[in-house]
Structure 1
Amino acid sequence: MSFPWFTLFLAITLSVKAQKPIPPTVHTDPAGALTVYRDNLTRLRHEHTALRELPNLPFFLFGMGDRLKLIYRNGRLLNALTGNIEEQWRVKEEIIVPSEYLVHLVLTDGQQIQIRENESGVWLLQPPRKPKLIPGTRSRLNLPGFTKQPWGPILRVLHQEVLINVIHGRPVPNFLVYLKPWYRDAALMGMVLRETNNLSLIQDWIMAINKPFDRNNHGIPEVDNLGQVLFLVSLVSDKKHPVVQSVLDSAGHFRRGNYVAGQTDDAEHPVYQTKWLKYGLKSLDLPDPYSIPKQYDSYSALFWWAYRNEHVAGPEFDKKIAINSPYYVWAEDHFYTQRRGMVGTVDYPLSWQQHDSDAHYPGMTVLDKDLAKQKLAFTHAWHAAEMFLLLHVP
């Protein structure tokens, strides 16, 4: 029996309609939404009282996932990677609402424009004109509202700060100052993406991993990478992935009795490294001949989601670490159920990192030249991920 042509036509039509990007609605109360978000932030700062004074630069990043990366700042919408002006307006008033992925503009001639990102792309909304999908931003994402979560507005922003640092399918710490993914940062990003059903964004990158070490720290093979690679593989594949055997072979070179040890951040962290390896093996249902050594390791508390009882207490990270690399202390907070991790003093971003010897801070010049001088990166995916995973209620 021949397939009826009208049925084929109907199927194609329905498929096209299903794929058609759906614009967001014009937000009718951006000021009210900003108040709700700020109230949520105020409550967070009352509970997490360690504050970091940050430069108050009214801006917002658009382009989550593999979309064109854009910066709104001072009446301009810039290509974040080239600095080219995509759109510009003469602005009388602006309201930036990070939790709604929204910039609301009142122009000098009285017109109102909204730039808003949703699950299908980044849009210019200027009624009564039709919504305009900005070229290069059409792709599907899952953007949960977290409406039943006590930190819902904040979680939406932290989720955005993770997604904004996925570029060309690769998870990087900050897309403006890091060219390559770091396995450790990617693993924590992967935990967030798994929670929000967005692993497809980095699936191809994970499938293409063919080395057990990222060697981003001056070419050193950092031993925690071994478990991180196995865990990343487990998110989208299984133990038949080609890199798995390479990881197992490499682990043997760093084995000391029944644990592994080597360099991570220029020091040995055998507890942390062995925890990662064991977790990676477990994630892929592989044999595990390793035991976590019973000794103090300053990185042990960074591993908060498993092996919590296999830990020897000791000095915690100091204030300088909390200021420059806040993800360490937020992870430690998750382990100890405490609140030493710093919260910034601005609406956006909620994550940052400063004075990392491996970051190329001139990349921040497109946003603000003083950030480059201060060696301060806005945003930071690992920091955002640690905050998200601590504040999110399963």
Structure 2
Amino acid sequence: MSLRWFFFFFLLTLSVSAQKPLPPTLHPDPAGALADYQKNLAQLRQQHPNHRELPNLKFFLFGMGDRLKLIYRKGRLLNALTGNIEEQWHVEEEIIVPSEYLVHLTLTDGQTIQIREDETGVWLLQTGRRPRLIPGTRSRVNLPRFANHPFGPILRVLHQEVLINVINGRPVPNFLVYFKPSYRDAALMAMVMRETNNLPLIHDWIMAIRDPFDRNNRGIPEADNLGEVLFLVSLVSDKSHPAVQMVLDSVKQFQKGAYIVGKTNNAEHPVFQTKWLKYGLKSLGLPDSYTIPKEYDSYSSRFWMDYKSEYVAPVSVEDKKIDETSGANYPYLAWAEDHFYKGKRGMVNNLDYPMSWEQQASNAHYPGLTVLDKEFVKQKLAFPHAWHAAEMFLLLYEDK
């Protein structure tokens, strides 16, 4: 072989090697990592005293971003969308460490298996064997450790609960029970992804937006969607995006003097809707002639990103409180208000994982939970929930 060909194959080998993802090693102390995480959870629960008991399934989801979605539960690794068994083991002991994206198994024959997700994919690790990257999970995501944050382990889990709900490049509230994105939820998810440099995961979806309304609520065009779309576009594009002009044209149907008003969750919320519109226009550097109406709006405190001085308080203190049922079923609402009021009314559950949930949502397709447990279909309880996880993440992340 000539020297020229030798160098060619040498460089080719180097190139192929460089493209191969570097596998993780076996985690040396899963029990210790779990104890550290549980200590962090105890601190969070102490600071946020409103708690809710949820059933403990002892499961874990793998497949952040566009990776194959997998569920570990009771010695089985399942395809989360089909229910097919991908792997199964006879397990003597399991340790699920949410903050390390890790399931550690001791088998009945004494072997050790670890399922571990990192920035390159989902891996099966076993003593004495080569690490195996699970097919369909090789893609890049950024997974910061938040090492200098007092709630670093918790932020890791909340971040995972956002990214796990990106499916086929689309950000959905919960990939098991929702088939399409909600612009409101997606905007909050995108705020998390902006902080962690993961916007490429939803870049193509945002670029493909053409309808300024998600029409998820019985097909009704909801006025807050306009600002949410503008904000989403601002993260990956500019005012030349085709959706921008569509939004500006659609604003006219909601305009009432210097503000907009329409339906959001079947009711008029002009303050909330105008805040979102102004925020979207500001994000793209577009002219803004709108004025936030000086009136009480129960949704106003759920928009915490800007315009806090424009808030008009309710006549009664009780009016501003989310009722107990809504706070338990839709916990993202109270966490959003905590961000606005700097309060601590948002609920924390009793589980190691997941930390976020939603129950009794009108447009969720709960039979999708059958792969987890049929009982949840009856209870209409879905977790994790990306909007809830995002609200928690953004509040805790800011509070360093």
Shorter-chain TM-score range: over 0.9
Distance 1:255 1:21, change over 3 A: same
Amino acid at match of 1:234: S
Amino acid at match of 2:354: P
Q: Which of 356, 373, 376 is 1:371 aligned to?
A: 376
Q: Is the 8 A contact 2:165 2:386 kept in 1?
A: yes
Matched with 2:62 is 62
- Alignment partner of 1:330 is 2:335: yes
Amino acid at match of 2:61: L
- Alignment partner of 1:23 is 2:23: yes
Structure 1 residue 10: deviation in Å? 6.2
Matched with 2:250 is 250
- Alignment partner of 1:381 is 2:380: no
Structure 1 residue 18: deviation in Å? 3.1
Structure 1 residue 19: deviation in Å? 2.3
Matched with 1:175 is 175
Q: Distance between the aligned counterparts of 1:100 and 1:76, measured in 2? A: 19
The alignment of Structure 1 onto Structure 2 pairs a total of residues equal to 391
Matched with 1:162 is 162
Q: Distance between the aligned counterparts of 1:333 and 1:369, measured in 2? A: 33
- Alignment partner of 1:359 is 2:364: yes
Distance 1:82 1:257, change over 3 A: same
Q: Is the 8 A contact 2:121 2:139 kept in 1?
A: yes
What do the CA deviations read for 1:138-169 (whole angstroms, capped 9, x no partner)?
A: 00000000000000000000000000000000
- Alignment partner of 1:350 is 2:352: no
Q: Distance between the aligned counterparts of 1:291 and 1:5, measured in 2? A: 70
Q: Distance between the aligned counterparts of 1:267 and 1:159, measured in 2? A: 31
Q: Is the 8 A contact 2:259 2:274 kept in 1?
A: yes
Matched with 1:312 is 312
What do the CA deviations read for 1:314-365 (whole angstroms, capped 9, x no partner)?
A: 2221211110000000000000001000000010000000000100011111
Q: Distance between the aligned counterparts of 1:8 and 1:170, measured in 2? A: 41
Q: Distance between the aligned counterparts of 1:17 and 1:203, measured in 2? A: 28
Amino acid at match of 2:390: A
Aligned structure 1 segments of 4 or more residues deviating by more than 6 angstroms: 4-8
Structure 1 residue 253: deviation in Å? 1.0
Matched with 1:116 is 116
Q: Distance between the aligned counterparts of 1:213 and 1:11, measured in 2? A: 51
Q: Distance between the aligned counterparts of 2:287 and 2:8, measured in 1? A: 51
Distance 1:111 1:249, change over 3 A: same
Unaligned runs of 5+ in 1: none
Q: Normalising by structure 2, what TM-score?
A: 0.96
Amino acid at match of 2:297: D
Matched with 1:293 is 293
Q: Distance between the aligned counterparts of 1:212 and 1:72, measured in 2? A: 38
Percent identical: 72
Structure 1 residue 22: deviation in Å? 1.4
Q: Normalising by structure 1, what TM-score?
A: 0.97
What do the CA deviations read for 1:247-290 (whole angstroms, capped 9, x no partner)?
A: 00000110000000000001000000000000000111101110
Listed as ranges, the matches of 1:73-152 within 5 Å are 73-152=73-152
Report the more deviating stretch, 314-323 or 342-351: 314-323
Q: Is the 8 A contact 2:92 2:106 kept in 1?
A: yes
Say which SS state the counterpart of residue 106 (structure 2) adopts: strand
What do the CA deviations read for 1:57-105 (whole angstroms, capped 9, x no partner)?
A: 1000000000000000000000000000000000000000000000000
Say which SS state the counterpart of residue 193 (structure 1) adopts: helix
Q: Distance between the aligned counterparts of 1:313 and 1:384, measured in 2? A: 27
Unaligned runs of 5+ in 2: 315-319
Structure 1 residue 6: deviation in Å? 7.4
